[in-house]
Structure 1
Amino acid sequence: MDDDAPDWTATNGPPRTPDDVTAENPYTLPGFFDALADGVLLGVRCSACDTRLIPPRPACYACGSRDLEIERQPDTGTVISYTEVARPPPRFVDLAPFTVAIVELGTGARLTGRLEAAYEETEIGMGVRVTVRGPDELPDAALSHEEDWPLHVFEPV
């Protein structure tokens, strides 16, 4: 991940009013993907219940609190579950079959994504690294607002 990226964690907290919900805010999907394009994986930590959420959002889905802090996530983790996708959405049909994994990062946050390893070679406990694929490295987006978004992919370490 990119250490020269802007400090995406320097915020005034989650959006509290509709005017605060902007594409630049890292608590929104566009802000999350802008940070990801810079090589920065963001999540939030709920101060009320200590839940980690990826992507960031303005309220905790575990307890409903808005007392959240944006935090940079590590780019390594461990596979805790996985499956093979044989019939993917149209955007990814040329990649099928492929492996999708749930990865627990060092902060305890969990992230789902495509794993660049054959299903038969994947194991629970396998170490992985998060890498970022730019829009030019991906199949065509299904929705126009996704055309410029990067995508995270896990690679075995």
Structure 2
Amino acid sequence: MSEKPSVEQYLQNIQEGQFKAYKCVDCGMVIAPPSGSCYGCGSSNMDWTTVSGKGKLVAFTVIHIAPDEFAEEAPYYIAIIELTEGTRVSARLLGYDPLKPEDVKLGSNVKLEYETIESGKKYLAFRPV
């Protein structure tokens, strides 16, 4: 194992424009955000790996009442994306009108597109391909 996994490092990687997850050296399972042990086999033999940023939309919701940092952006989508590597992450969903959720299609292919908000913070966001 290269270093102890931390959500702080995961978020720092995102700020630097690097989407990385933890990968089990023993069974190959990819986990994001990182965990101290593999969800598949329980091994703690984990290391950082770069993630493709491609996946499928598996769930979404519209946020109408947002935390202060995002209050002026509401309404907006938050989605669960299943990455091609097999793990699932939550992220913003771009490219759809949040007042027309009927237009969003589960199973749609999506790709990573970082979103930088007014404060300069970068977040994971996905857009339909």
TM-score by length of 1: 0.68
Structure 1 counterpart of 2:61, one-letter code: T
- Aligned AA (1:40): Q
User: What SS does structure 1 have at the residue aligned with 2:52?
Assistant: coil
Counterpart residue type for residue 129 of structure 1:
K
For residues 29 and 121 of structure 2, the distance between their equivalents in structure 1, rounded to whole angstroms, comes to 26
CA RMSD of aligned residues (A): 2.2
Q: For residues 56-95 of structure 1, what are the structure 2 equivalents within 5 Å? A: 56-61=34-39, 64-95=42-73
**What corresponds to 2:127 in structure 1?**
155
1:129 and 1:156 in contact (8 A); partners too: yes
- Alignment-derived partner of residue 7 in structure 2: 29
Structure 2 gaps of 5+ residues are none
Question: SS of 1:31's equivalent?
Answer: helix
Q: Hey, what's the Cα distance between the residues in 2 that align with 1:108 and 1:48?
A: 16
Q: Which runs of 4+ in 1 moved over 6 A?
A: none
- The 1-side partners of 2:34 and 2:67 are apart by 24
Aligned length, in residue pairs: 125
- Cα separation, partners in 2 of 1:76 and 1:54, compared to 1, 3 Å: same
Deviation string, structure 1 residues 86-141 (Cα, Å, up to 9, x no partner) = 122121111111111111111111111110123332111111111123xxx4144x
Q: 1:24 — aligned with what?
A: none
- Which is strand-richer, 1 or 2? 2
C-alpha distance in structure 1 between counterparts of 2:40 and 2:3, whole Å: 16
Give the drift of 1:51. Answer: 3.5
Residue pairs, 1:135-154, within 5 angstroms: 137-140=116-119, 149-154=121-126
TM-score, structure 2 normalization: 0.80
SS of 1:57's equivalent? Answer: coil
Match of residue 2 from structure 2: 13
In 1: Cα distance, 2:49 partner to 2:29 partner: 12
The aligned counterpart of 1:20 is none
Name the CA distance, whole Å, in 2 between partners of 1:90 and 1:63. 39
Structure 2 Cα separation of the partners of residues 138 and 51 of structure 1: 31
